[in-house]
Each structure stands twice: as C-alpha cells, then as structure tokens.
C-alpha cells in the first residue's frame, strides 16, 4: 500500500506517542495532535490504515488507536543452488533470491545454498536444508565452511587447518575426512544460519 502524506503523518504521530509511553490517542486526540478541526477526513485516513493492517482501534471503552506491531522484514539474499554434504559437487549459480530473517545472517555479504546429502547430519544439517553462508575467504578451525576443491567442486564440511594440510571433516561417523594441501582448497564462505521446511 502506498501511503498518502496524511497517513504517513498519522503513523509518525502514533510512533512518537508509543515511544514516549503515552496512551493510544482517540480520534479527537489525533485531531489535536495533527492540528485538524474535522474528524471526518481523519476518520477515512485511519480506516485506510486499519484496512492495511498498520493500525487498529482499541476497545470501545477507550476508543484509542494504536500501531499494529510489524514483523521485521526479511533480507533478500542470492540463492546459489545446491551443495553436497556427502560428496563434492559444484554449486551452480541460479537466478533466484531467498528471504532470510536478519537473525540468521550477518552484516557481511551472505548467500543461500541448499544442502544435498547426509555427511553433516550429526551437526544437525540434513538433506534439503537451506544454509546461510557468510562470504569469507578465511575461517577459524572448527567452523563449517563452503570449500572449493581444486578450483572445480564445492562441498560443505567442518574445517581443520594445520601446517601443510587442510582437512575437511564430515559430521557423519560412516564417512572419512578429506585431507588436501592448502593450495588445493579455497574457502568461499562460513556457515552462519540454517533453515528447514517441514512439509
């Protein structure tokens, strides 16, 4: 909904009132706060805001008007395809985006991948899950990373870095770690969030 200047003004007044801890104003109170003489035009603007789900009237006894709490807007992140959690496969770029709640990402650039395979199941990362990856080229030991192997394939594993070698460790007791020379592995990001659909 595109707000009119008057509707925007009403919302601003209600926000200031709420921030100051003042009680929800009535229509008459809003008229006074907005320096208006007529309740008629104000009533129409308030009804439009009610229909849009931005404000709501309190019970008849108090006749106040207050803001409807709004959910934080999700961030849109690029969805770059599927990544194997069982064996390395290429994560192919897709022309899609994904809505991600702010708490599941960081302030740095992030992207989304969908997990295939079960090599990270003991870390609670299951086939079909969506993971939020912070774009980074370095990681601390023990972090779960997206690793590009020999410039060809990507995989999701826990990383252990030692002098002269890097080990990508699965979280599945039936699978073996992958150990490579440092020059054979490029870190492309670190896991910071995870999402799952139960349907």
Question: Which residues carry out catalysis?
Answer: 119, 157
The single residue listed with the structure tokens 């020999």 is 150
DSSP assignment of 78-142 equals: EEEEEEESSS-B-----SEEEEE-GGGS-SS-EEEEEEESSTTGGGT--TT-EEEEE--S---TT
Question: In sequence order, what are the beta bridge partners of 100?
Answer: 75
Which H or E run includes 145? strand 144-149
Which H or E run includes 32? helix 27-33
Apex 57 CA angle, 54 and 63, nearest 5: 150
The single residue listed with the structure tokens 């209600």 is 14
């Amino acid at each position: 909904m595109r707000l009119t200047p008057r509707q925007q003004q009403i919302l601003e007044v209600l926000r200031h009132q709420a921030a100051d801890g003042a009680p929800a104003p009535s229509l008459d109170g809003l008229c006074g706060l907005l320096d208006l003489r007529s309740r008629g035009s104000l009533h129409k603007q308030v009804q439009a805001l009610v229909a849009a789900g931005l404000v709501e009237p309190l019970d008849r006894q108090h006749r106040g008007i207050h803001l409807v709490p709004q959910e934080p807007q999700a961030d849109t992140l690029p969805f770059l395809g599927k990544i194997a959690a069982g064996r390395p496969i290429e994560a192919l770029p897709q022309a899609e985006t994904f809505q991600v709640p702010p708490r599941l990402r960081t302030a740095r650039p992030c992207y989304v991948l969908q997990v295939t395979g079960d090599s990270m199941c003991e870390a609670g990362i299951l086939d079909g899950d969506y993971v939020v990856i912070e774009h980074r080229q370095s990681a601390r030991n023990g972090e779960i990373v997206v690793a590009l192997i020999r410039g060809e394939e990507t995989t999701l594993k826990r990383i252990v870095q030692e002098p002269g070698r890097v080990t990508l460790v699965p979280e599945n007791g039936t699978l073996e770690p992958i150990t490579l020379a440092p020059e054979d592995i490029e870190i492309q990001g670190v896991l910071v969030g995870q999402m799952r659909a139960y349907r």
